[in-house]
Amino acid sequence: MIGFIGLGIMGSRMAANLLKAGFEVTVYNRSKDKAEELLNKGAKWAESPKEAAEKSDVLFTMLANPSVVEAVSLGEEGFLDSLKEGKLWVDCSTVDPSFSRRMANESEKRHLRFLDAPVSGSKLPAENAELIFLVGGSGEDLEEVRPMMEAMGKSIVHQGSHGMGSSMKLVINLMLGQTMAVFAEAVSFGEAIGLERGTVVETLLGGITTAPFLKGKKNKVLEHDFAPEFPLEHLQKDLQLVSQTAFENNTAMPIVNVTKEIYALAKQQGWSKEDFSVIYRLFSEKK
Amino acid sequence: MIGFIGLGIMGSRMAANLLKAGFEVTVYNRSKDKAEELLNKGAKWAESPKEAAEKSDVLFTMLANPSVVEAVSLGEEGFLDSLKEGKLWVDCSTVDPSFSRRMANESEKRHLRFLDAPVSGSKLPAENAELIFLVGGSGEDLEEVRPMMEAMGKSIVHQGSHGMGSSMKLVINLMLGQTMAVFAEAVSFGEAIGLERGTVVETLLGGITTAPFLKGKKNKVLEHDFAPEFPLEHLQKDLQLVSQTAFENNTAMPIVNVTKEIYALAKQQGWSKEDFSVIYRLFSEKK
Amino acid sequence: MIGFIGLGIMGSRMAANLLKAGFEVTVYNRSKDKAEELLNKGAKWAESPKEAAEKSDVLFTMLANPSVVEAVSLGEEGFLDSLKEGKLWVDCSTVDPSFSRRMANESEKRHLRFLDAPVSGSKLPAENAELIFLVGGSGEDLEEVRPMMEAMGKSIVHQGSHGMGSSMKLVINLMLGQTMAVFAEAVSFGEAIGLERGTVVETLLGGITTAPFLKGKKNKVLEHDFAPEFPLEHLQKDLQLVSQTAFENNTAMPIVNVTKEIYALAKQQGWSKEDFSVIYRLFSEKK
Amino acid sequence: MIGFIGLGIMGSRMAANLLKAGFEVTVYNRSKDKAEELLNKGAKWAESPKEAAEKSDVLFTMLANPSVVEAVSLGEEGFLDSLKEGKLWVDCSTVDPSFSRRMANESEKRHLRFLDAPVSGSKLPAENAELIFLVGGSGEDLEEVRPMMEAMGKSIVHQGSHGMGSSMKLVINLMLGQTMAVFAEAVSFGEAIGLERGTVVETLLGGITTAPFLKGKKNKVLEHDFAPEFPLEHLQKDLQLVSQTAFENNTAMPIVNVTKEIYALAKQQGWSKEDFSVIYRLFSEKK
C-alpha cells in the first residue's frame, strides 16, 4: 500500500497517476475536499498523517516547505512514529539539502528508510507523468520505488546519498533564476536596438539558445502580466541560499551573485509577490 | 540562377541543400577544392566573385566576418559592381547591424536589392536544412527568396528593416554566451556541493531549464576538452559589442556585463583560442 | 607671453592664478563677459583664438570636451595654424587618450609642440592653486611650463608620452565613479541594518576607508539633493569608455563593468542630468 | 580599576595608552610574556580572566573573534560570572552584530552593563591613540568610559543601541574590501593602457579619489609582496556576512556581491592566507 500526503497542485496529480497505473493509494490532505476526485478514482482516505503512515509500505510526501514537512512528520500529530519499522518515506517536497539529511537521520533513528526525491517540473508535467525525480539515498531503496516514480515521471535520476536529491534541486532552481534573467535582459536589449518584442521572443523560443521552460513565460513577457506562478521572493531566497552554500563550499559564483541582486533590486520596486519573470520590467522600463 | 560565394563549413552545406532542392547554383570559393563535391552534384563554377555575380539573379554570401565581406563585395575584384540592376544580394554572414546597413546602402546606390540574413545554427543544422534565417530588409524581397531559404532552413523570421537580421543575431550570441556561462557555473556549483559531475550534466540536459545547444557542449565539460568550435575570444568580442550597443541605446545590462568580464578573466588565463565552454575551467579549477 | 583659451569655472580660476604669480597672460573666451575680472587684474584680451595663438609662446586650453577642442583648434577659425613654429600647446581639457594623441600629431605636422595636461580637482582646488596636473608628452616641454603649472597646482606628475596624461585622467574618473557607488551602497546598507544615516556618513568620512572627495558629497546624501556638479550621464559615459578601452587592451574589469550598469539603471530612472551621487537613491529607495 | 583582557597587537598598545593617561589597569593574557612590558609600566597582573573581572569596575576585552570572546566570557573559566553587579563590560573585539546583542543579553541577565565598541584602525593608530571607537549601547554607559576611550582613540562615535557598534564595523570592513578591489582594478587598468605602475599608484594616492588606508597597501602593490596583514579569507568572509545580512534586511547590494566573488576567485587561486590586497594579482596577471 502506498500512502500519499499533500494533495496540492502537484501532489494531487502525482497521486492520480499512481492510481491510474494500478497502485493502491491511501491519501491524506489537511482539507479533505482536495481529495474528492482521487477518492472517486479509488483512493482510500486517511483521517490523519498517522493513519496514512500506519497503512503504508511506502509513504510519499509532497508539501510546501521544510517547516510544513517538519510539522507533519515530527510535530505533535506527526507520522514518523507511526510508520512501521523498515518502511520507506519518500519526500518529494523542495527543501534544503541539510534538512533532507536531518530527515534521513530522524528516519534511521526509528529504523525507517528515507529518500529525498524532489521533482523538476510543474503543473503540466505532473499531470502528464513527465516529472523528473532527483533522488538522494540508497540505490536499493530507489529500485523499490522506481515503478511508482515511473508512473509519475519520465525520468528518475539517482543523484547520490541522502540530501543529494535536494542539492540537485538547488542547482535546478539556480538555472531557473539565471536563465529567466538572461532571457529578460536579451529581450530588453533586442527591443532597445529596434527589434520588435514579439519577434525577438518568438525567434529566441524557436532556437537552441533558449531553455524550454521559457515558453511558459512567453505571455508574461509579451503582455506584462506577472501573475505569480513562482513568486520573485522565493526565487531570490533560493539564489541567496545558493550564494551561502557556495561560500561554505569554497566555490566562486560571480554571475549568480549579480543576478540575485538584480532580483533584489526588483524586490525594492515592490514586486516580491509577482512572478519572478517580472525581472523583465526592471530591464525594460524606462522613465 | 543562384550564386553562392563562400563554401566553408556552413556555406558548402547550404549550397548542397539548394542543389538538392533542384535549384541551379553557381558557386565560388577562394580555394576551388572545397567546391569539388558541389560541382559533382551539378553546381557550376565561377572563376571569380565577379563572374558569380554576373550570372546570378540572387547572390548568397556566407563569409567569415565583415572585413572579408567588404573585400569580396567592394574590394578591387569585388562583385557588387557586377550584379545586374535590380538583382538581389543576400548576406548570410555574421556581421554588425551597422555594417549590414552600410551594405544595404551600397547596394541601393547601385540599384540593387539587399537582405541581411545571418543564420542561427551550426554544422549539423546546416547539413540537415534546419537553420533559422534572421532576415532584415523588405518583406517582398524576402518572399522572393523564401523558397531558397526553405531549402536550407526550418524557419525564416523577418526581423524588420535592413540591419535587423544582424541585430537579432547579436541577441542570439548574447544568449549563447550567457547561457554557457550560467550552465558552467551551475555544474561547478553542483560538484562543489558534492554531486557527481556526470549526473549534474545529465540531469540538467534532460530538463526544461537548460538550452538545447548545451547538449553539444556536454563532452567538453565532462572531458575537459575545449577544442574550439566557437573560440572564446570571438564570443567575448560579441559580448563587448553588445555592451557598447546597449550603451548607445541607453539600456542597462548588468548581468551580461559581468559575464563578459568573466570571459575576459578566462582570456587572461591564456584560453582565448579555446572553445568558449572553457569558461567552465575558470569556475571549477581550484589550486 | 602665455595664452589662455576657455574661461569657465576652471579656466578662469587657473588664469587668475597665473596672473597672481606674475605671468603675462592673453585670454580668450567665446563670451567676453567671463573675462572681465581677469582683464581688471591685468590680463590682455584676444578677439579670437587665432589672435591668442599668434601672441603666445605657450598656449593653454581648458575646454568642455573633445569636440570643442577640435573646433577651436582645427575648425574654420581654429588657432593651430596661427601658433608660430616651435611654440607649445598645453591642453588641460578632459579628453580621450586617442584624441590627445591625434592633437599631438596635428601639432607635430605644424612643427609645434604639445602636452596633454588634464587636471584632477574641481572649483575649489582650482581657486586655491591646488590642482594636480597629469601630463603626457616630452619631459623637456614639461620643464618649460612647470613654473606655470606650479602657479596653478600643488602637484605635477609626468605620466609618460602623449596621451598618458589623458589616460591617467580616465583612471581617476574610474576611481571617482567606483568610489561614489561603493560609498552609496555602504551607507544604504548601514541604514538598512538599523544605523542612523548621519552617523554612518560621519563615521565613514572620519575614517581611513573613505576617499576625501566624498566629504563634498555628504550633503547630497544626507539631504537627498542631487543638484548636478558632475552629471550622472557624463560619469556613466566615462565608465563605458573605460570598459571599451579595457577590452581593447585585453584586461578584465569585472567590478567597474557592474558599477557602470548600476549607473545605467539609475539613468533608466530618469536621473541622467542629476549629480552622479544620485546612485545613492537607487540603493536606498524602496517601494 | 580597569581590567584589560587580550594583549595582542592591538590590545597591548591600547592598554599602554590607558596606563600612560594615568589609569590603573589590571591585565590578563593567555601567555604572560606579552604582558611584561605593560607590567614594567605599572600594570597589575591577573592570573585568570575571573581574577581580572573581580577587580574591575570597567572591563575591556580585545580578542580575536566571537568564539574566543565566548570562551573567555562564558566558558568554564569565563569571567562573566565574576564581574560584580552593575559593573561594565566593554567588548572591543570585531564580532557580528547579533553576537554583540547576545553578549548584551547575557550581561543583563547578570545585572551587568555592556557596550560593543569595536575599533577602526590597526597597529599604528592603536599605538598613537588614534583609534576610532564605534559604540553600541547606552549613552550613559558610554559617557562613563569616554575618558578611557579618549586615552586610546581620537574619535568616539555612539552608533546606537547594542549591536550597532558591531554593525558599523561591518560597514567599515565592507568599505575596506570594496575600496581595495576598486583600487587594484584601477591600477591594473592604468598599467594595461600603458601607464607606469609606480606613477599610477603615486598619482592616485596623492589625490582625493583614493582612501587614506591605501597608502599602507602601496608597497604590496608595487612589490607584489602580499604578506598578510588582513588575510583575504577573513575579508571575504566579512563580505559574505554583509551579503547575508543585506538579504535579511531586504536591501540590494549588487556591487559588493560581485566584489566578494572576485575575492572568491582569488581564493580559488590558493591565496586565502595572503593579504587581501592580493586581489591585485587577479586583475594584473596575464598568462
* Assigned C-alpha cell, B168: 537579432
Provide the pLDDT confidence category of residue C195 given band limits of 50, 70 and 90.
very high
Q: Does B283 touch chain C (CB under 8 A)?
A: no
pLDDT computed for residue C81 by the predictor: 96
Q: Does A287 touch chain B (CB under 8 A)?
A: no
Which domains occur in chain D, in start order? 2-161 (3.40.50.720), 168-284 (1.10.1040.10)
Residue range B5-37, pLDDT digits in tens: 999 989 999 999 999 999 999 999 999 999 999
Q: Residue D37 in 3-state DSSP?
A: helix
Going by C-alpha positions, the residue among D222, D172, D184, D224 that lies closest to residue D202 is D222
Q: Residue B113 in 3-state DSSP?
A: strand
Least trusted range by pLDDT, from A255-259, B109-113, B159-163, C74-78 = C74-78
Give C270's contacts in chain A (Cβ within 8 Å): 286-287
Phi, psi of A47 (to 5 degrees): -75, -15
Q: Which of D171, D189, D252 sits opposite C251 (nearest CB)?
A: D189
Phi, psi of A259 (to 5 degrees): -55, -45
Q: Does A252 touch chain D (CB under 8 A)?
A: yes
Residue range A180-222, pLDDT digits in tens: 999 999 999 999 999 999 999 999 998 899 999 999 999 999 9
Q: Does A192 touch chain C (CB under 8 A)?
A: no
Q: Does A47 touch chain B (CB under 8 A)?
A: no
State the smallest CA–CA distance between residue A185 and chain C in angstroms: 12
Q: Which of B250, B253, B261 sits opposite C267 (nearest CB)?
A: B250
Contact D275, D229 (CB under 8 A): yes
pLDDT computed for residue C122 by the predictor: 80
Is D182 in Cβ contact with C179 (below 8 Å)?
A: yes
Mean of the pLDDT values across residues C159-171? Answer: 95
Judge residue A68's burial from the number of C-beta atoms within 10 Å of its C-beta, 0-12 exposed, 13-18 middle, 19 or more buried.
middle
Residue range B80-104, pLDDT digits in tens: 999 999 999 999 998 889 899 999 9
Residues of B taking part in catalysis: 169
Is C253 in Cβ contact with D258 (below 8 Å)?
A: no
Residue range A96-120, pLDDT digits in tens: 898 999 999 999 999 999 999 999 8
**pLDDT surpasses 90 at B260:** yes
CA distance A188 to A200: 9
* Nearest-Cα residue of chain C relative to residue D196: C159
Question: How many C-beta neighbours within 10 Å does residue A21 have?
Answer: 14
Q: Does A247 touch chain D (CB under 8 A)?
A: yes
Report the percentage of chain A scoring pLDDT > 90: 90
Is B209 in Cβ contact with A120 (below 8 Å)?
A: yes
* Nearest-Cα residue of chain D relative to residue A252: D264
Residue range A225-252, pLDDT digits in tens: 999 888 899 899 999 999 999 999 999 9
Residue range C236-266, pLDDT digits in tens: 999 999 999 999 999 999 999 999 999 999 9
Residue type, C217: K
* Assigned C-alpha cell, A243: 550564494
State the smallest CA–CA distance between residue C182 and chain B in angstroms: 16
Contact D91, D116 (CB under 8 A): yes
> b/e map of C159-173 (b: 16 or more CB within 10 Å)?
bbbbbbbbbbbbbbb
CA distance C36 to A265: 51
Best D208, D253, D286 residue to mutate vs chain C (most C CBs within 10 Å): D208
Is B240 in Cβ contact with C240 (below 8 Å)?
A: no
Is B269 in Cβ contact with D287 (below 8 Å)?
A: yes
Q: Does C15 touch chain D (CB under 8 A)?
A: no
CA distance D233 to D216: 19
Is A282 in Cβ contact with C269 (below 8 Å)?
A: no
What is the ipTM for the molecules in this complex?
Answer: 0.86
Is C250 in Cβ contact with B243 (below 8 Å)?
A: no
- pLDDT beneath 70: ranges in chain D: none
**Upper half-sphere CA count for residue A236 (Cβ side, 13 Å):** 30
Q: Does A192 touch chain B (CB under 8 A)?
A: yes
pLDDT computed for residue C47 by the predictor: 95
Q: What is the DSSP string of C136-172?
A: ES-HHHHHHHHHHHHHHEEEEEEEESTTHHHHHHHHH
* Assigned C-alpha cell, D94: 570585531
Q: Is C154 a catalytic residue?
A: no
Residue type, A210: T
Is B258 in Cβ contact with A258 (below 8 Å)?
A: yes
* Residue carrying the nine cell digits 613654473: C147
pLDDT computed for residue D213 by the predictor: 94
State the smallest CA–CA distance between residue D252 and chain A in angstroms: 5
pLDDT computed for residue B188 by the predictor: 98
Q: Does D260 touch chain A (CB under 8 A)?
A: yes
CA distance C235 to C174: 8
Give D282's contacts in chain B (Cβ within 8 Å): 265
> b/e map of D85-119 (b: 16 or more CB within 10 Å)?
eebbbbbbbbbbbebbbbbbebbeeeebbbbbbbb
pLDDT computed for residue B103 by the predictor: 98
Q: Does B258 touch chain C (CB under 8 A)?
A: yes
Residue numbers of B between 204 and 223 with CB closer than 8 Å to A? 204, 206-213
Residue range B133-181, pLDDT digits in tens: 999 999 999 999 999 999 999 999 999 999 999 999 999 999 999 999 9
Best D258, D263, D278, D279 residue to mutate vs chain B (most B CBs within 10 Å): D258
pLDDT computed for residue C51 by the predictor: 96
Mean of the pLDDT values across residues A157-178? Answer: 95
- The residues that bridge with A27 in the sheet, in sequence order, are A4, A45
CA distance A50 to C238: 67
Is C243 in Cβ contact with B254 (below 8 Å)?
A: no
Question: How many C-beta neighbours within 10 Å does residue D216 have?
Answer: 14
Q: Which of A258, A282, A287 sits opposite C270 (nearest CB)?
A: A287
Is B200 in Cβ contact with A168 (below 8 Å)?
A: yes
Q: What angle do CA B229, B232, B236 make, to 5 degrees?
A: 130
Residue range B185-243, pLDDT digits in tens: 999 999 999 999 999 999 999 889 999 999 999 999 999 999 988 899 989 999 999 99
Q: Which of D254, D262, D265 sits opposite A261 (nearest CB)?
A: D254
CA distance C224 to C277: 9
Mean of the pLDDT values across residues C89-113? Answer: 95
Q: Which of A254, A270, A287 sits opposite C268 (nearest CB)?
A: A287
* Nearest-Cα residue of chain D relative to residue C283: D252
Is A167 in Cβ contact with B190 (below 8 Å)?
A: yes
pLDDT computed for residue D77 by the predictor: 85
- Contacts of residue C12, defined as CB under 8 A and 6 or more positions apart, other chains included, come to C34, C35, C37, C38
Q: Does B109 touch chain D (CB under 8 A)?
A: no
CA distance A219 to A198: 10
Query: What's the longest Cα–Cα distance across chain C?
Result: 66
- The residues that bridge with D115 in the sheet, in sequence order, are D90
pLDDT computed for residue D121 by the predictor: 84
Residue numbers of A between 122 and 181 with CB closer than 8 Å to D? none
Is D270 in Cβ contact with B285 (below 8 Å)?
A: no
Chains touching chain D, criterion 3+ CB pairs below 8 Å: A, B, C
Q: Could you say which of A169, A217, A220, A260 is catalytic? A: A169
The CA R_g of chain A, rounded to the nearest whole Å, is 20
Contact B81, B59 (CB under 8 A): no
Provide the pLDDT confidence category of residue C150 given band limits of 50, 70 and 90.
very high
